[in-house]
Structure 1
């Protein structure tokens, strides 16, 4: 049974490789469920797919130094930027597909955590337009 442990995930936002700050990156995509049931369905619900959407959820280790994660993310707030996420930072291939598209940077939490915690920032960014999968 093949298994994989994520040890070197790759994340890029707006052309910035953020892998060194990224503790977690989760890309989810879904399709709306549309009910198209009619009397002809004999009492069974019939559904079809509607609009597609996605979300990129991230958790970062915070760094306020010049040119680091806070300085990269703060100016992006409210903009739509390209993203790329891969299971590893290795070359894209059949066993390391890349997922690309655009996301809206709708939130940024500069300060997050409690006493004694690592300084982190977590956020979820909705996709804007298609999410593509490539192996080349």
Structure 2
């Protein structure tokens, strides 16, 4: 991929698709540099990596009145002191496309500005998992009304100490008689093996799960079960290894 002008991207935070209400998003990850200088350092400062941290900053045009709007989603995450998955990916958000994601604790939310201006918002979150450079595992625009499985992705095996992380954003839920969506992550060498399952979703929201290594399988995919009367779910998921 060559140089780009940042014009179009998809931004998901929990149950909210912030794409049409955002004009700014920044992800950062860093390690503390711990001083380990000693007499054997030959006069040069010696440092080792300490605790890692991830931060997320987003901003744009304020909207409210629905769980998928920024005000509702940001306030619920902030007041509930809960963790919210964030996923940033290209505009098409197709399976296999590059995705950056993490699980974050919302630490601040600001909105409002000058008279006559489009009402702005800004939110910040501190990562509670690694910043993952992964891929989209399920696109947001395909409604799921019955059980199925997603695109198989060749992500590679997990070595000892590695984990496969999966972020799930349930964007909308429709149907009667308690519609429910249960998403699992599977690996496949010759036949699919279930590795982890998200809590069943009956309302919009976000979750992150991880699968510990070692696992020698290279191919990974999502599968889902759907229940209820006339159920329909829109969700997006991203997956990566750290």
In the TM superposition, what whole-angstrom CA distance separates every residue of 1:38-87 from its partner, at most 9, and x where no partner exists? 01112111112111111111002101334432122211112111111124
Report the Cα distance in structure 2 between the residues aligned to 1:58 and 1:48, rounded to whole angstroms.
31
1:52 maps to which residue? 52
Is residue 85 from structure 1 mapped to residue 88 from structure 2 by the alignment? yes
Structure with greater Cα Rg: 2
Q: What are the ranges of 5 or more consecutive residues in structure 1 without an aligned counterpart?
A: none
Q: Contact conserved, 1:92 with 1:98, CA < 8 A, in 2? A: no
Partner of 1:20, secondary structure, is helix
1:134 maps to which residue? 134
Q: Contact conserved, 2:15 with 2:73, CA < 8 A, in 1? A: no
Q: Contact conserved, 1:83 with 1:102, CA < 8 A, in 2? A: yes
Question: Whose RCO is larger (CA < 8 A, sep 6+)?
Answer: 1
Provide the alpha-carbon RMSD of the alignment. 2.0
Q: TM-score, normalised by structure 2?
A: 0.50
- Listed as ranges, the matches of 1:30-69 within 5 Å are 30-67=30-67, 68-69=69-70
Is residue 97 from structure 1 mapped to residue 107 from structure 2 by the alignment? no
Q: Contact conserved, 1:87 with 1:97, CA < 8 A, in 2? A: yes
Report the Cα distance in structure 2 between the residues aligned to 1:28 and 1:6, rounded to whole angstroms.
17
Q: Contact conserved, 2:14 with 2:73, CA < 8 A, in 1? A: no
1:72 maps to which residue? 73
- Listed as ranges, the matches of 1:114-125 within 5 Å are 114-125=114-125
Partner of 2:63, secondary structure, is coil
Q: Which has the higher strand share?
A: 2
Cα distance, 1:13 vs. partner? 0.9
